[in-house]
Amino acid sequence: MRFRKIHGAGNDFVFLSDPAPESDNDWAKEAEQLCARRTGVGADGLVISRLISTDPALLEVACFNADGSTATMCGNALRCTAWLARQDHGLTAMGLLMAGVTHEAVVDDDAVWVSAEVGAVHPRRVQAVINSRPTWFDSAYTGTEHVVAVVDDVDAIDTATVGRLIRHHADLAPLGTNVNFVQSAGSQELRIRTYERGVEAETLSCGSGAVAAVVIANMRGLVAQRTVTVHNQAGEPLTVRPHPDRPTRTQWVGGPVTHTFEGVLA
């Protein structure tokens, strides 16, 4: 089975495109094995995509986290899928169906864009003491669960320790959450670090987390409701901007996609 390793702004995935029906095996178990950094290919997740319609262009996308759990929304996985759809099928605009939700996607020469739906936002959802300072986390649903803390310096945060604590917070049980730490980086710019549920570690980039960060930063008055640059740990920023047709409930998230390598699974 041929695979491709692709990353979206540092968020890396193993991709299997249009696998034969008879290959529908235990993808959750496959994800655990393939995503293992030392004994597998190594990735934040495994993505399975199938072209199910050409008019209109529509692909079905399933994303499995490194621990085998299913992702209901992964902005960077969707962006990488759209990039592959252009390589494989010549598509530049398409729909991407993930966990029952269809996302718009556009591929241009400079970036790959996907839409993300914004759901419930709850200020002051949980609190933790970070570097001796009580800190509130607001929550924003962007197709998956996210909490966001606005801090003075993201580099001063022990992301793994605090992220794990909040990810398993009793008030967020049983699903848990992805955890984001955000700081202002100038006019319409943010810096972000993300501890991802399912990867159970800090990732270099998170598309749905970038959207959540912008939503909360807007609520907190750090940015206006227009294009925002979100600087991540990979040094490959994502851009978040309101959807012109429904700016209050849908955001576009865009950025680079890189094809790293490909191979064959024995």
**pLDDT tens track for 227-248:** 999 999 999 999 999 999 999 9
Judge whether 63 counts as a catalytic residue. no
One of 35, 63, 74, 80 is an active-site residue; which one?
74
Distance between CA atoms of 74 and 196, rounded to whole angstroms? 11
Distance between CA atoms of 85 and 66, rounded to whole angstroms? 23
Distance between CA atoms of 36 and 103, rounded to whole angstroms? 28
Judge whether 74 counts as a catalytic residue. yes
> What is the per-residue pLDDT across 1-27, written as a single tens digit (0 to 9) for each?
899 999 999 999 999 998 877 666 799
Asked if 29 contacts 66 with a C-beta cutoff of 8 angstroms, the reply is no
What letter would DSSP give residue 156? G
* pTM of the predicted protein model: 0.96
pLDDT along the chain (266 residues), means of 10: 96 93 81 96 98 96 98 98 97 98 96 98 97 97 98 97 97 97 97 98 98 98 98 98 96 98 92
